[in-house]
């Protein structure tokens, strides 16, 4: 008996299995004297990762809200309650009839309230997103090689720190552009840890069946974060723009601590079995006893799990390059709205009047509400059709008329603006949500990987990192094109949507051919058994 126990201990140490359960889960399971069920773990993963990435986008959205406070170049109506918005007290920009604004702006926050203030804000956006995109590739590589719970916690705490430091510039009366530039770049670096980590964790816990719908619903965190960020930042502007950055920074820091104590990164880390019925899909059961690694893990499985795929190997997975390039243009459109929509709304006369910064920020949330519906709808349709590429391409093509309608008819009245904004958000965010969630998870567990799940974070980072380069370029170009006209901005967005759809043409054709072949060869026919 003693020799058997010694053999077990030797095997345990040779494969170096560790109890990686989060601290709070250890306490719960020790009290219950049994492990949580598999479905309980799944629910916990969805909730914690949902809240985690909600706070990432909450902090990301705030910069678009404070734009109008830092650079209040927006024309406003005479009915604006300036008492409620003290930074707007010294300007009331009027048009001379040909689109040129009259009146000097002496408010705002230096150096962003100068004549080149809009361009400086554009530089902040592109700096943040450029570092975010570059950091994404590194984050995916690191995420597949270290504890994702720790990695995600570090990212959230770092994001919170530098978001708060941006806001502290208000109280310390900092007017040096390079301070805000460096802070935004560091915030972008820590922000890049989020997406590869949460997609990898969710992908570890959920198989491919119904993944599109599940992740479509789960991906609502992006829009919920944008909405929450808009509402929080807008409501705090009246107390000073610094609060609009500082409070969201504290919020994401708090949830970073929650992630550390609660998030189980994979079934393997909590002693669950890894099943064979689906690619890397754990068995739908639970352990009756507390965590005992050797009862659930064999040496061969552990060695397979420990091997992480290389960066170039991930690029060679069929479909990765197509979707990555498509997301480049799809995210260009989505992030232009993320960073510039409140500014655009306050700049545009709607129903004969201009809106205040707070009202414009609140109104922009309807775009994100549409995004929630679009993400869920795209996931549901792609599951039903079993056709990710067809669904994503269709949504991108529908984005073009939606953008045209919003630009040309959104000014008529408030209801028309809200309705068209909702529809635009649905089609813009639908393919963006589908590609960054279900498609990335599918490709991260592609059959060519032969069951190796350690490609999830890397593949997700490649796809979203490439998309983030487009996300950096979109807001930058918007800063220049908006100085010419907003028509030029929308032309750029419609062109990007068209290219995004065309980049999926090969995959769409392959899916159509597969559907046709499926109809020609009914399941169970003799052709199914031919080698």
Which CATH number is 260's domain given? 1.20.1250.20
Report whether pLDDT(450) > 60.
no
* Residue 53: both structure tokens together: 């990435």
pLDDT confidence of residue 402:
96
pLDDT, residue 319, reads 79
b or e along 178-217 (b: 16 or more beta carbons within 10 Å of the residue's beta carbon)?
A: eebeebbbbbbbbbbbbbbbbbbbbbbbbbbeebbbbbbb
| Residue range 329-347: mean pLDDT, rounded | 88
pLDDT of residue 351: 86
Task: Pick the more confident residue, 477 or 441.
Answer: 477
**The two structure tokens encoding residue 15:** 């494969």
Q: Is pLDDT at 84 greater than 50 in this prediction?
A: no
Q: How confident is the model at residue 531 (pLDDT cuts 50, 70, 90)?
A: very low
Structure tokens, 433: 């949500």
Confidence category of residue 284, pLDDT binned at 50, 70, 90: very low
List CB contacts of 389: < 8 A, sequence separation 6 or more. Answer: 319, 322, 504, 507, 508, 510, 511
115-124, 160-169, 402-411: range with lowest mean pLDDT = 115-124
195: in domain: yes
At 307 the pLDDT is: 52
Q: How many residues does the chain have?
A: 531
Establish if 346 belongs to a structural domain: yes
Q: Dump pLDDT digits (tens) for 164-195.
A: 999 999 999 999 999 999 999 999 999 999 98
pLDDT of residue 53: 94
Q: Higher model confidence: residue 375 or residue 213?
A: 375
Look at residues 392, 374, 379 and name the one whose alpha carbon lies nearest to residue 511.
392
Residue carrying the six token digits 């800063």: 479
**Residue 382: what pLDDT?**
87
State yes or no: pLDDT of 303 exceeds 80. Answer: no
Sequence-ordered list of residues with C-beta below 8 angstroms from that of 56, at least 6 positions apart, any chain: 156, 159, 191, 194, 195, 225, 252
pTM: 0.71
Instruction: Please choose, from the candidates 133, 138, 528, 122, the residue with its C-alpha nearest in 3D space to the C-alpha of residue 336.
Output: 122
Number of domains in the chain: 1
Predicted confidence (pLDDT) at residue 66 exceeds the cutoff of 60? yes
Is omega for the bond preceding 507 within 30 degrees of 0, making it cis?
no
Burial class (CB in 10 A: 0-12, 13-18, 19+), 239: exposed
Residue whose C-alpha is closest to residue 299's, from 24, 12, 43, 90 = 12
Give me the pLDDT at residue 85, please.
33
Quote the percentage of the chain above a pLDDT of 90: 35
User: Which are the contacts of 419, defined by CB distance < 8 A and separation ≥ 6?
Assistant: none
Please compute, for residue 223, the number of CA atoms within 13 A of its CA located in the half-sphere on the CB side.
27
C-alpha to C-alpha distance for 99 and 92, rounded to whole angstroms: 15
Q: What is the mean pLDDT of residues 497-510?
A: 93
Q: What is the mean pLDDT of the chain?
A: 78
Q: What percent of the chain has pLDDT over 70?
A: 76
pLDDT at 120: 87
Using DSSP, state whether 355 is helix, strand or coil: coil
Model confidence at 272: pLDDT above 90: no
Most confident of 176-190, 229-243, 357-371, 462-476: 176-190
Determine which of 67-76, 434-443, 491-500 has the lowest per-residue pLDDT on average: 67-76
pLDDT of amino acid 113: 85
Quote the pLDDT of residue 526. Answer: 41
Cα–Cα distances (Å) from 84 to 236, 237, 287, 350, in that order, read 12, 10, 58, 21
The least confident of 51-60, 276-285, 321-330, 476-485 is: 276-285
Q: Which residue has the higher pLDDT, 428 or 6?
A: 428
Name the least confident of 3-7, 312-316, 498-502, 510-514.
Answer: 3-7
Whether 67 maps to a domain, the answer reads yes
Between these two residues, 209 and 418, which has the higher pLDDT value? 418
Average pLDDT of the segment spanning 213-229: 84
In a domain, residue 173? The reply is: yes
User: CA torsion sign, 450 to 451 to 456 to 458?
Assistant: negative
Cβ neighbours of residue 296 closer than 8 Å, sequence gap 6 or more: 271, 272, 273, 287
Q: What is the pLDDT of residue 74?
A: 43
Q: 94 pairs with which residues across the strands?
A: 102
Could you tell me the sign of the dihedral formed by the alpha carbons of 272, 274, 280, 285, in that order?
A: negative
Lowest-pLDDT range of 39-43, 122-126, 398-402: 122-126
- Which helix (H) or strand (E) is 316 found in, with range? none
- Residue 140 sits in which domain range? 20-72+112-272+308-520
- Taking alpha carbons only, the member of 348, 343, 493 closest to residue 411 is 348
Report yes or no: 197 and 151 within 8 Å, Cβ to Cβ: yes
> Does the residue 100 lie in any domain?
no
Listed range (10-24, 64-78, 126-140, 212-226) with the worst mean pLDDT: 10-24
Distance CA 362, CA 366 (A): 8
Tokens at 453, concatenated? 């799940």
| Residue corresponding to tokens 């009366």 | 173
Q: Are 456 and 197 in contact (CB under 8 A)?
A: no
Predicted pLDDT of residue 108 = 82
CA distance from start to end of the chain: 50
| CA 138 to centroid of chain Cα atoms | 17
The answer to whether residue 531 sits within a structural domain is no
Q: What is the pLDDT of residue 485?
A: 87
Question: Does 262 map to a domain?
Answer: yes
Residue 405 neighbours by CB distance under 10 Å: 15
| Cα 24-27-161 angle, rounded to 5 deg | 20
Q: Is residue 98, in this structure, part of any structural domain at all?
A: no
Residue 387 is encoded by which pair of tokens?
A: 């056709």
Q: HEC profile for 242-258?
A: HHHHHHHHHHHHHHHHH
Lowest mean pLDDT among 80-89, 170-179, 387-396: 80-89
| Token pair of 399 as six digits | 């984005």
Which residue has tokens 């201990």?
9
Q: Say if residue 392's pLDDT is above 70.
A: yes
């Amino acid at each position: 008996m003693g020799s058997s126990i010694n053999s077990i201990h030797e095997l345990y140490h040779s494969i170096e299995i560790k109890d990686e359960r989060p601290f709070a889960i250890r306490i719960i399971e020790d009290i219950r004297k049994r492990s949580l069920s598999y479905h309980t773990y799944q629910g916990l993963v969805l909730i914690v990762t949902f809240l985690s990435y909600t706070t990432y986008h909450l902090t990301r959205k705030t910069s678009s809200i404070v734009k109008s406070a830092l650079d209040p170049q927006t024309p406003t109506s005479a009915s604006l309650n300036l008492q409620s918005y003290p930074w707007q007290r010294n300007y009331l920009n009027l048009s001379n009839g040909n689109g040129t604004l009259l009146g000097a702006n002496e408010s705002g926050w230096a150096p962003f309230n100068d004549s080149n203030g809009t361009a400086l804000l554009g530089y902040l956006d592109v700096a943040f997103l450029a570092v975010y995109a570059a950091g994404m590739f590194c984050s995916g590589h690191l995420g597949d090689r270290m504890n994702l719970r720790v990695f995600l916690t570090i990212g959230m705490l770092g994001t919170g720190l530098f978001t708060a430091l941006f806001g502290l510039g208000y109280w310390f009366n900092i007017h040096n552009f390079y301070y805000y530039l460096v802070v935004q770049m560091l915030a972008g670096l820590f922000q890049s840890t989020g997406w590869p980590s949460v997609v990898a964790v969710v992908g570890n816990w959920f198989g491919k069946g119904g993944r599109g719908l599940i992740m479509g619903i789960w991906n609502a965190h992006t829009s919920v974060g944008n909405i929450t960020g808009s509402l929080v930042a807008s409501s705090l502007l009246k107390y000073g723009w610094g609060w609009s950055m500082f409070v969201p920074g504290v919020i994401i820091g708090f949830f970073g601590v929650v992630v550390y104590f609660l998030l189980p990164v994979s079934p393997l880390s909590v002693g669950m079995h890894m099943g064979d019925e689906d690619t890397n899909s754990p068995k739908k059961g639970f352990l009756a006893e507390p965590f005992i690694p050797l009862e659930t893990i064999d040496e061969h499985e552990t060695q397979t799990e420990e091997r992480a795929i290389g960066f170039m190997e991930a690029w060679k997975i069929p479909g990765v390059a197509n979707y990555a390039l498509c997301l480049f243009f799809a995210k260009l459109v989505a992030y232009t709205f993320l960073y510039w929509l409140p500014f655009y709304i306050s700049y545009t006369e709607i129903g004969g009047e201009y809106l205040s910064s707070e009202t414009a920020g609140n109104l922009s949330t309807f775009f994100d509400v549409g995004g929630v519906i679009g993400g869920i709808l795209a996931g549901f349709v792609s599951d039903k059709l079993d056709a990710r590429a067809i669904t994503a391409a269709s949504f991108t093509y529908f984005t073009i008329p939606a953008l045209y309608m919003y630009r040309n008819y959104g000014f008529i009245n408030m209801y028309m603006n809200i309705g068209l904004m909702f529809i635009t958000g649905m089609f813009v965010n639908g393919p963006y949500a589908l590609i960054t969630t279900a498609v990335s998870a599918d490709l991260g567990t592609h059959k060519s990987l032969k069951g190796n799940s350690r490609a999830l974070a890397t593949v997700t980072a490649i796809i979203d990192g490439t998309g983030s380069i487009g996300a950096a370029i979109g807001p930058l170009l918007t800063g220049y094109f908006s100085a010419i006209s907003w028509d030029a901005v929308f032309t750029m967005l419609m062109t990007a949507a068209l290219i995004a759809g065309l980049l999926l043409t090969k995959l769409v054709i392959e899916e159509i051919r597969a559907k046709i072949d499926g109809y020609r060869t009914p399941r169970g026919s003799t052709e199914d058994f031919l080698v």
